[in-house]
Amino acid sequence: MLSTELEIAVQKAPQEQLKEKPDQNALGFGSIFTDHMFVMRWNRDQGWHDARIQPYQDFSMDPAAMVFHYGQAIFEGLKAYYGDQGEILLFRPRSNFERMNKSAVRMCMPRIPVDRMLQALKALVYLERSWVPTAPGATLYLRPTMIASEPALGLRPSDEYIFFILASPVGAYYAEGFNPVKIYVESKYVRAVPGGVGEAKTAGNYAASVKALTEAQRNGYTQVLWLDALEHKYIEEVGTSNAFFVLDDELITPPLAGTILPGVTRDSVLQLAHDRGMKVNERRISIDEVVKAAEDGSLQEVFSTGTAAVISPLGELFYKGERIIINNGETGPVARHFFDELQAIQFGRRPDPHEWMVRVA
Ligand SMILES: *Cc1c(COP(=O)(O)O)cnc(C)c1O
């Protein structure tokens, strides 16, 4: 595809088929979808073609489509925000699309020029602008996805793909307050191995993680903290979010060394920490170091970062039969600062020094 604009065919849902807007106080996460979706197809002869916005609808797919069997599927997650002046804003959408292209390369799937994906996203969000929630903290969650659609059972990269974008109004993550969560430190199952696909946002990573998640939840924990696969020692991530530690006034997060998802929120927190002159260190940190720091009092805070929750303070870690209480189980000032700062930028309430926000309308 050349750098010309995408030709997007727009087929609007008829007025009488438009869905009733949901109660903004009961949105939950990811179960309500808007009236339209963006869809585009790829094959070896035509490249990306047939870009369209159409009424939200089922796909008709051959049961031999490769995604069902071998899991060639990648996705992204980002949000549209309703600003104080009624503007509609996206947070760092190019970062998500650059990451999507990296995931595509790792999974032998075709890339899409970032500008074209952004054009498609803006067109969809603009058409669905009445779906962007106005309730405090609520947003329109956006899910760009690519799947292998060729019907073939021989194992190789598919020769056909579908790229689509769904939009889903979601509630404020902290409707009941910005409260710390309890986390199970996972020392049996692992998420990603060096040389594997841990740094790609690809479907199989999540399928492989739900066993550990359900076991942790059955024991009363919200999420798992993943340790490295080789030594079960170094901290990787917290569920589907990146891990941060405040230790002796220094902000520490594990480095991007191939097994960790390079979070856009992670990168934004690092930037904001640099901006306010905080000591920042991207380095390996072991669970034993965290336990010891909790014992000697140098561990001040632990939190995780991701698009859905922005920042999640961690109040308790459960590791090998021991409970590690962090900051008396309360939200610390660093987590609160980054949460407030990022939300203020995302909703257009504060200057945006890094030009992160992209305006749709
Ligand atoms: C998406 C994701 C994150 C967070 O990334 P953001 O870009 O900040 O939303 C972290 N870890 C995993 C495994 C993820 O899938």
* pLDDT, tens digit (0-9, with 9 covering 90-100), for 196-234: 999 999 999 999 999 999 999 999 999 999 999 999 999
The CA distance from 340 to 344, in Å, is 6
CA 58 and chain centroid, separation: 24
Angle, nearest 10°, between helix axes 93-106 and 114-127? 130
Q: Which atom of ligand 1 is nearest to the CA of 78?
A: 9
Token code pair at residue 161: 């793909």
CATH number of 80's domain: 3.30.470.10
Q: Report pLDDT digits (tens) over 242-277.
A: 999 999 999 999 999 999 999 999 999 999 999 999
| Same domain, yes or no: 165 and 186 | no
Which of 122, 139, 170 corresponds to the end of one domain?
170
Which residues form the domain of 342?
181-346
For residues 283 and 135, state if they share a domain: no
Q: How far apart are CA 225 and CA 57, in angstroms?
A: 36
State how far the Cα of 208 lies from the Cα of 135, in Å rounded to an integer: 35
Tokens representing 311?
């920042």
The type of residue at 117 is M
Q: Is 93 in the pocket of ligand 1 (CB under 6 A)?
A: no
Ligand 1 proximity of 327 Cβ (cutoff 6 Å): no
pLDDT in tens, 150-165: 999 999 999 999 999 9
Residue 211 token pair: 């066993």
The CA 295 to ligand 1 mean position distance, Å, reads: 30
Q: Tell me the C-alpha distance between 307 and 163, whole Å.
A: 21
Per-residue pLDDT, 2: 53
Residue 22 located in a structural domain:
yes
* Burial of 339: CB neighbours in 10 Å, binned 0-12, 13-18, 19+: buried
Question: Helix H segments across 71-172?
Answer: 93-106, 114-127
Average pLDDT, the chain: 96
Nearest atom, ligand 1, residue 237 CA: 11
* 121 — pLDDT class (breaks 50, 70, 90): very high
d(CA 13, CA 11): 7
DSSP letter for each residue of 226-262 = EEPTTTS-BEEEETTEEEEEEETTEEEE---SSSS--
CA 122, CA 128: separation in Å to the nearest integer?
Answer: 10
Whose alpha carbon is nearest atom 5 of ligand 1? 263
Q: Is 266 in the pocket of ligand 1 (CB under 6 A)?
A: yes
> How far apart, in whole angstroms, are the C-alpha atoms of residue 173 and residue 177?
9
Which of 199, 209, 242 has the most ligand 1 atoms within 8 A of CB, as the residue to mutate? 242
What's the predicted TM-score (pTM) here? Answer: 0.97
208 and 80 in a common domain: no
Final residue before a domain boundary, out of 170, 201, 233: 170
273: number of CA atoms within 13 Å, CB side?
23
Domain presence at residue 45: yes
Angle 342-75-44 from CA coordinates, rounded to 5°:
140
If phi over 0 gives left and psi between -120 and 50 gives alpha, with beta otherwise, what is residue 50? left
Same domain for 46 and 123: yes
Nearest to 123 by CA among 4, 32, 37: 37
Partners of 358 in the β-ladder: 90
The answer to whether residue 109 is domain-embedded is yes
Q: Which residue's alpha carbon is at the smallest distance from atom 15 of ligand 1?
A: 240
Instruction: Give pLDDT, residue 3.
Output: 58
CATH number of the domain bearing residue 296: 3.20.10.10
Cα→Cα distances 70→66, 176, 228, 234, 259, Å: 6, 40, 25, 30, 21
The predicted-structure confidence for 321-346, as pLDDT tens digits, reads as follows 999 999 999 999 999 999 999 999 99
CB atoms within 10 A of CB 82: 20
- Would you say residue 1 lies in a domain? no
Pair 134, 155 in one domain: yes
Last residue of a domain, one of 143, 170, 197: 170
Going from the Cα of 185 to the center of ligand 1, the distance in angstroms, rounded, reads 18
Do 303 and 154 lie in one domain? The reply is no
3-state helix, strand, coil in the chain (%, to 5): 25, 30, 45
Classified as helix, coil or strand, 360 is coil
239 plus 263 within the same structural domain: yes
222 and 334 together in one domain? yes
Task: Report how far ligand 1's centroid is from the alpha carbon of 261 (Å).
Answer: 6
Residues 224, 164 share a domain: no
Longest dimension (CA), the chain: 64
**Do 315 and 195 lie in a common domain?**
yes
- Whole-number pLDDT of residue 174: 78
- The Cα–Cα gap between 208 and 189 comes to 9
Report yes or no on 2 lying in a domain. no
Q: How many structural domains compose the chain? A: 2
Cβ(110) to ligand 1 under 6 A? Answer: no
The three-state (H, E, C) secondary structure of 46-69, written as one string: CEEEEEEEEECCCCCCCCCEHHHH
Domain shared by 236 and 122, yes or no? no
Identify the residue with better confidence: 5 or 290. 290
Q: Are residues 166 and 189 in the same domain?
A: no
Does 359 fall in a domain? no
* Assigned domain for 224 exists: yes
For residue 90, pLDDT beyond 70: yes
% of the chain exceeding 70 in pLDDT: 99
Establish if 354 belongs to a structural domain.
no
Residues contacting 327, CB < 8 A, separation 6+: 180, 300, 301, 313, 315
